[in-house]
Structure 1
Amino acid sequence: MSLVTIDARHSVLGRTNALAKLAATLVISVTLLLSIDPVSAGVSLVLTLLVLPFARLDPRQLWLRLWPIVIAALIAGAATVLYGRPSGEIYLEWGVLRISDGSIALAAAIVLRVLAIAVPSIVLFATTDPTDLADSLAQLAKLPARFVLGALAGLRLVGLLIDDWRELALARRARGIADTGRLRRFLGQTFALFVLAIRRGTKLATAMEARAFGAPIERTWARPSRLHARDAALVAVAVGIAAASVTAAVWAGTWTFVFAL
């Protein structure tokens, strides 16, 4: 079962080579990791959102993928506001809690940076079929085929593990052992899923070995992975976003190199 919707697969970003999308994501992410400031992260996030329509992602599906990261970013921002290093004017001080200009600015930078890194990554995986990514990594990036195919097989099992968890919950409820003790039920079901995952992984490894996936020979590929002009254009757009974010931060005087902290 494909993890990518039909609209996303036939979008402009969906037709782009997976390796180019990975390179574009890394360019933006690495650039954002070089500084902790709200300007560069904010500019990068806004420019990334402007490119988002080319992915043709369903807003609901995008939100379902994004909301855990949004919650985590807000929690990190709240903790930074309360416990961050104080500087400038202090608005509230109570024990170890100090809210100041510096902690607020740092919290905003952290929240924006997390979102600016997360959105391109989510778009990458939401518009990329795992098989296409494996083909590009093995054929173009020249990663070991055995490692790539093993990772692809493991990723393909994620959907099955979700189905197994749902079936375990229904089976335990039908037997009347899932009505009380939520924590005990969760731990027992987790252990059962762990056992199922080991069994399924062992069978998959045996099947792949039987089909010579681990043979020390040069592999052939059913679907050749090639780079096109649109792939270079995507990487160029990512470089432009990264350059614009850095330029805006330097111009605003907020650029703070992480190793200078």
Structure 2
Amino acid sequence: MALYFEGGTFLHKLNPLVKLAMSFAAIVHMILFPSFLPVAVHVVTGIVLLAYVRPRLPRALWVAVFTLFVGHAWVNAALYRGGTPIATLGPVVLAWEGVMLGFKLALRVLAIVFYSLLAAATTNPRDLAVSLANQLGVDYRYAYATHVTFRMAPLVKRDLENILLSRKMRGYRGSGLIGRIVSVIAPLMALVVKRSITMSLSMESRGFGAYKERTYYKLVKVKKIDYVVASLFLVYLFAITITLHMLGLLGPMLQLTD
């Protein structure tokens, strides 16, 4: 959730658990209908929603997403055996069926990544922790641990960047690959442990966890907009299924039994 940014879109206003449930419903839909077109519709849906939300995502993240897409498609295509050969790259024989399978599976991964980015960019980690405690009944100590985990991620990243900049300013170069790795990991772990101890002492001094129940500065509830958007999304999935089925483009449904 380090990707979160403040915004006024309807996705920002949704309950965090509702967004997770909608993402899960989309993933289940792609599993039940694994053909190309249903998955492609989810990819387009993710692109449209990302264009609407316009999250402030770093360029490196998009490069990582593209690398994941290409890598996943390549591995599945290269491991496919049989089919109609279309190209030979050294010891790897690419078949048309393998390329299509790899592309389809990579599209499914891409759709899941898009839905995950939407949830991460529009969900405040604090709201997620409160929602876990209020709606799911998770112990607030574990819910807070979830919040701390997401909160620590950007801090660790910042510490790593500061360490690398400090080494660069001093012109420091470790001896060998192992020495360079250790010279970065050691101070980074020291900073993480120090911050964890400080946070633990702060929580203990405030009596955090001493009582079974606690009050909240801000309550996160399931509101009318949550029911409306979740219902519309389910109707959307149903409409996709019916439309593609009527056009003969839905493809076979996943067989759960022999």
What interval of TM-score do these two structures reach, taking the shorter chain for normalisation? 0.7 to 0.9
Preserved CA contact (<8 Å) 2:50 2:114:
no
Equivalenced residues, count = 255
**Helix, strand or coil at the partner of 1:57:** coil
The change in CA–CA distance for 1:91 and 1:148 in structure 2 (over 3 A counts) is same
The one-letter code of the counterpart of 1:70 is F
SS for the counterpart of 1:252 is: coil
Deviations 1:1-54 (A, max 9, x none): x85333xx2122112222211111111123223454322210111133333344
1:158 positional shift: 1.7
Decide whether aligned partners of structure 1 residues 247 and 206 sit closer, same or farther in structure 2, where only a CA change above 3 A counts. farther
What is the distance in 2 between the residues matched to 1:224 and 1:14?
Answer: 15
1:110 aligns with 2:105: yes
When the two structures are superposed, what TM-score results if normalisation uses the length of structure 1?
0.84
SS in 2 for 1:91: strand
Alpha-carbon distance in 1 for matches of 2:144, 2:112: 27
2:35–2:250 Cα contact (<8 Å) kept:
no
Corresponding position of 1:80 = 76
The range that moved more, 10-19 or 244-253, is 244-253
1:127 aligns with 2:130: no
Q: How does 1:94-105 map to 2 (within 5 A)?
A: 97-105=92-100
Q: Distance in 1 between matches of 2:119 and 2:51?
A: 13
Give the distance between the partners of 1:94 and 1:260, measured in 2 at CA. Answer: 38
Residues 1:193 and 2:188 aligned together: yes
Match of 2:139 in 1: 144
Q: Which residue of 1 aligns with 2:65?
A: 69
Q: Deviations over 1:145-180 (max 9, x none)?
A: 110101212221222212211221222233331388
Distance 1:222 1:42, change over 3 A: same
Change (3 A) 1:218 1:170: same
Could you tell me the TM-score, scaled by structure 2's length?
0.85
- Match for 1:229: what amino acid? K
Q: Which residue of 1 aligns with 2:204?
A: 209
Equivalences for residues 43-58 of structure 1 within 5 A: 43-58=41-56
Contact 1:135 1:225 in 2 (8 A): yes
CA distance in 1, matches of 2:51, 2:90: 47
Query: Which digits, 9 at most, give the CA deviation of each residue in 1:57-103, with x for residues without a partner?
Result: 35xx275544312211211101222222333x232467862322321
Cross-structure match for 1:5? 5
Instruction: Tell me, in whole angstroms, the C-alpha distance in 2 between the residues paired with 1:118 and 1:209.
Output: 38
Shift, 1:125, TM fit: 0.6
Report sequence identity in percent.
22
Tell me the amino acid that sits aligned with residue 47 of structure 1. T
Q: CA RMSD in A?
A: 2.8
Q: Identify if the C-alpha distance between structure 1 residues 77 and 5 changes in structure 2 by more than 3 Å, giving closer, same or farther.
A: same
